[in-house]
Amino acid sequence: MTKKKEEVKKENPNAKWYVLNIRTGYENSIQKELKQRIEATGMEEKIVDILVPTQKKIFVKKGKQDVKEEKIFPGYVLIKMELDNRTWDLVKNTEGVRGFVKTDRYPRPLPEEEVQAITKFMEVEQPSFQNSFSVGEAVKILDGAFADFIGSVQEVDTSKGKIKVLISFLGREAPVELDLTQVSKL
């Protein structure tokens, strides 16, 4: 795409954001398919953007941290377009697209503030931790001063990536705060 088309693309005053209901798990492939169809039909000025809202999450599995992109709205894609019969047909007839999210017979555009809130949420710098631990669950400490101890989960703080484990130490129960990477399920 040339730079000139890129500039025109962003300035379509009639383009509004809509929500598409699609096959869950196919968000990225449908986004790619739509982009190819838009380019092939020369509708770049009418359909200006397609967004699959994602956020970075830290997953902890077997004591290892892994950062992954997680879809915020699985089964949905945001599309900024000027709605007319041609654009409607192009989008609706794309394989995997179930349809527009609508209130009556016609799709209702998303308010710009909602789209801005979604994009801000996507840009959150510090990813939140995803974990599979629940309070009361038995865990094994993998490293640190209490390595190989077994205890029960007392508290989980996903925003900081910490877990509080109650262990039996010298005949007494003691809470120990650890990183999520330092424990594993039994």
49 and 124 assigned to the same domain: yes
| Range of the structural domain that residue 81 is part of | 3-129
pLDDT in tens, 22-52: 999 999 999 999 999 999 999 999 999 999 9
What is the maximum alpha-carbon separation in the chain?
75
pLDDT in tens, 129-152: 666 788 999 999 998 888 999 999
pLDDT at site 121: 87
Name the more confident of 164 and 8.
164
- pTM comes to 0.67
Q: Residue 3 above 70 pLDDT?
A: no
94 and 146 assigned to the same domain: no
172 and 83 assigned to the same domain: no
41 and 76 assigned to the same domain: yes
Average pLDDT over residues 3-7: 42
Residue 80: which pLDDT band, with cuts at 50, 70 and 90? Answer: very high
pLDDT, the chain, mean: 86
104 and 151 assigned to the same domain: no
Closest CA to 143 of 180, 96, 93: 180
98 and 137 assigned to the same domain: no
Q: How many structural domains does the chain have?
A: 2
Q: Residue 9 above 50 pLDDT?
A: no
69 and 156 assigned to the same domain: no
Q: Residue 154 above 50 pLDDT?
A: yes
Residue 123: which pLDDT band, with cuts at 50, 70 and 90? Answer: confident
pLDDT at site 2: 43
